[in-house]
Amino acid sequence: MADDNGKTEPPAAMSIDVEDWFQVENLRSGVPRGSWDSRELRVERNTERMLELLRKNDVKATCFILGWVAERCPGLVKRIHAEGHEIASHGYGHDLIYSLAHGQFREDVRRGKRLLEDLCGGAISGYRAPSFSITDWAIDILREEGFTYDSSSFPTVAHDRYGKLTGMKAGVPIVELRPGFHEVCVSCWDVAGKGLPWGGGGYFRLIPYALFRMGVRSILKSGTPYVFYIHPWEIDAGQPRVSGLRRSHAFRHYVNLGRCEARWEALLRDVRWTTVRGLLAEWRPR
């Protein structure tokens, strides 16, 4: 896609973190891990709706799929793959990386990767950490387990859960961390030297769409690739409400759920999208 001056814009990657509503970190205090199997499973219907919108708008996405979900919804993984979307890993159990010992993390990513590879019949090359909780030590384990890229770094202003990678900063979206292993950052909008979170999630639901789109256009016009993320539960205004949450956590999770689907479809139309793997293939030679 060309900009107003006829120049070819850099690519933009659409990504979906395929997890269910009750697995979100903001709800952890009200949804014990042991209760997951008794919760209403809504991820399949929500992801199917997203696939319908992707198909309608001729967009291919990268789906970072949680192994726990893949184990219970194998047909969903196969349908995502059959429609030409990139299958990537979100780990197995949605634990924050820095809460795990190194061996526990290795087992989590290995289990999730094997499940996805068995279902789609091919190698999985990409990973995204739950809640972007990436750490420096996790990169070597990901590389040893056969991944060739990570897309977990979110180099924005302070956040209470995001992890950090040494040397990452807003405005540098793709970095070769190890030979043949790349980090693909979720996008920030550089305003006065500050990386404002502009890659999706609650920020996308909170900020008026016209303003959000303006930020995306600004990032692309600067010559920087753009990376967006969303979850299936974000288009599900009818999901169960969890009580007893911290006010800030409830706000982050529930804000503007009813408006998200229409906003996301507008974004699908307004930007030229590819997968994360496609972004790497197109941008890396530059």
DSSP 134-195: --HHHHHHHHHTT--EE------S--SS----TT--TT--EEEEETTEEEEPPPEEEETTEE
Query: Is the pLDDT at 209 greater than 90, yes or no?
Result: yes
- Give the other-Cβ count within 10 Å of 66's Cβ: 26
pLDDT value for 159: 55
Q: Are 181 and 149 in contact (CB under 8 A)?
A: yes
Q: Which of 242, 198, 208, 227 is nearest to 20 (CA)?
A: 242
Within a domain: residue 113?
yes
| Packing angle, helices 43-56 and 74-82, rounded to 10 | 10
- Output the DSSP codes for 80-128: HHHTTPEEEE--SS---GGGS-HHHHHHHHHHHHHHHHHHHTS---EE-
Within a domain: residue 6?
no
Residue 4 makes CB contacts below 8 A (sequence gap 6+) with none
Residue 265 makes CB contacts below 8 A (sequence gap 6+) with 53, 56, 57
More confident of the two residues 171 and 240: 240
Average pLDDT of the chain, as a whole number: 92
- Tell me the percentage of the chain whose pLDDT exceeds 70: 93
Within a domain: residue 108?
yes
Rounded Cα–Cα distance for residues 199 and 15 (Å): 10
Within a domain: residue 159?
yes
pLDDT value for 2: 46
pLDDT value for 160: 58
Q: Per-residue pLDDT averaged across 36-60, rounded?
A: 98
How does residue 286 score in pLDDT terms, banded at 50, 70 and 90?
Answer: low
Q: Which residues pair with 272 in a beta bridge?
A: none
Q: Which residues pair with 149 in a beta bridge?
A: 126, 182
Please tell me the least confidently modeled range out of 9-13, 18-22, 61-65: 9-13
pTM of the model: 0.94
More confident of the two residues 261 and 158: 261
Q: Which two tokens stand for residue 108?
A: 């989590």
How does residue 135 score in pLDDT terms, banded at 50, 70 and 90?
Answer: very high
Q: Which two tokens stand for residue 149?
A: 């890229």
Domain count, the chain: 1
Q: What is the CATH number of the domain that holds 227?
A: 3.20.20.370
How does residue 169 score in pLDDT terms, banded at 50, 70 and 90?
Answer: confident
Rounded Cα–Cα distance for residues 48 and 58 (Å): 15
pLDDT value for 103: 98
pLDDT value for 126: 98
| DSSP type of residue 241 | P
Rounded Cα–Cα distance for residues 79 and 202 (Å): 27
Rounded Cα–Cα distance for residues 214 and 267 (Å): 11
Rounded Cα–Cα distance for residues 217 and 272 (Å): 11
Within a domain: residue 259?
yes
Helix (H) or strand (E) holding 213: helix 209-221
pLDDT digits (tens, 9 = 90+) for 94-122: 999 999 999 999 999 999 999 999 999 99
Pairing of strands 188-191, 194-197: antiparallel
Structural domain span for residue 234: 12-283
pLDDT value for 161: 60
Q: Rounded to 5 degrees, what angle do the CA atoms 233, 23, 260 make?
A: 20
Within a domain: residue 5?
no
- Tell me the percentage of the chain whose pLDDT exceeds 90: 85
Q: Name the phi and psi angles at 240, rounded to 5.
A: -55, 145
Q: Per-residue pLDDT averaged across 203-216, rounded?
A: 96
Within a domain: residue 4?
no
pLDDT value for 168: 75
Rounded Cα–Cα distance for residues 242 and 256 (Å): 16
| DSSP type of residue 259 | H
